[in-house]
Structure 1
Amino acid sequence: MAQKDKIKWDKKYTEISFLLEDKLPSEKLIKIEKNVKGKKALDIASGAGRNSIYLAKKGFEVEALDISKVALDVLNAKGFENITCKLVDLDEYKVPKNSYDLIIMTNFLDRNLIPKLSNALKKDGILFIETYMEDKINEKPPSNSNFLLKKEELKTFFDESFEILDYDEFLNDDSELFKMKKQCIAVRKMV
């Protein structure tokens, strides 16, 4: 496990209690979830699980992956039988191929992981990504550009074997600490 990242995120969750508070799921995910044909979901970098909890309440069997034991302990303590928490380093984790009806990755970006997530979808499975992008309106102190999308970048990860169900660039809502521009995409695997 990337010990440095684990320490950083455990510390962040311990020191900023806001991050562990119950939050509403992504509004974009709520709209997309209705298009999912099966009930097996994967939540990448789940944190305390706002989206995992939403999906569990909708009847999904959810695997919630994160590097922070602190965040996963909070999620696990909520007692959802259909959420399995896994402490993983996503740099090393082998995502099983053709296994999920829905994969979500929100407020986290690892460009190298996107092709692996695409391969982990079953036919007709949906990949939903929502995260931050570069924009002059962003209020958060300068971030590492490796963790910010360029304009329309999410579209570049998918070829004709995927159908784009939704794409948007928008301002985040008031539930986050800083005003930031976000980008999201939902694609269906066609083959």
Structure 2
Amino acid sequence: MIRPSPWVEHYSTLLPAGGEVLDLACGNGRHARLLAEMGYRVCAVDRDALALDRLAGVPGITTSYVDLEGDVWPLVGRRFSGIVVTNYLWRARLPDLLALLLPGGVLIYETFMDGNAVYGKPSNPYFLLRPGELRAVAAAAGLLEIAYFEGYASEPKPCQRQAIVARRPI
């Protein structure tokens, strides 16, 4: 299994204890597993049913098969003390996603940005963040920035990345 993102590993300790954490577009669940091992209750969502099946029965993890890119936002009414997103971008739902964060909750988000085509996929600009985009979206949602990264990253493979850790004020 692919190891968790160093960004997520480093900042996961900032997630509030006792709350539920959303692992959005969780894929094979590397971050859901990490967070569950740390004692968090994790809601792992994805549209890949086979990947979610691999998480069935893992203590601390509940899974939900959802279409995050459909006309209806499947997480309406849900609230989380933490949200983790890696290697996924669906701009149309970024405001909806950030609205799920409870007061005092922490967002940990990391994905590819403009310039990544040099290193491979994703290369479609539609799936690449623009410079400063995560920072601007988080600020517009009223989140307070804790950490931010933008530029070349060598792990897990060479790429152009953008990442943010931000907290919703209490």
TM-score (norm 1): 0.79
Give the 4+ runs in structure 1 shifted more than 6 A: none
Is 1:25 aligned to 2:15, yes or no?
no
SS in 1 for 2:146: strand
How far does the alpha carbon of each residue in 1:69-113 deviate from its partner, in whole angstroms, 9 at most, with x for none?
12112233xx31211111100123332446211001110001122
Percent of matched pairs sharing the same residue? 30
- Distance of 2:124 and 2:60 partners within structure 1: 35
Q: Distance in 2 between matches of 1:73 and 1:136?
A: 31
Contact 1:103–1:126 (8 Å) recurs in 2: yes
Is the aligned partner of 1:144 residue 2:124? yes
Verify the 8 A CA contact 1:106 1:130 in the aligned structure 2. Answer: yes
8 Å CA contact 1:97, 1:121 repeated in 2: no
- Report the structure number with the largest CA radius of gyration: 1
* Farther-moved stretch of structure 1 (81-90 vs 34-43): 34-43
Query: Which consecutive residues of structure 1, in runs of 5 or more, have no partner in the other structure?
Result: 1-21
**Counterparts in 2 of 1:160 and 1:121: CA distance versus 1, 3 Å:** closer
Instruction: Give the SS at the match of 1:43.
Output: strand
Task: Give the secondary-structure state (helix, strand or coil) at the position aligned to 1:47.
Answer: coil
Partner of 1:37: 16
RMSD: 2.0
Structure 2: distance between partners of 1:142 and 1:30: 23
Shift of 1:156: 1.2
Structure 2 distance, partners of 1:146, 1:105, is: 17
Alignment TM-score, normalising by the size of structure 2 = 0.88
Structure 2 segments unaligned to the other structure (5+ residues): none
Retained in 1: the 8 A contact 2:66–2:74?
Answer: no
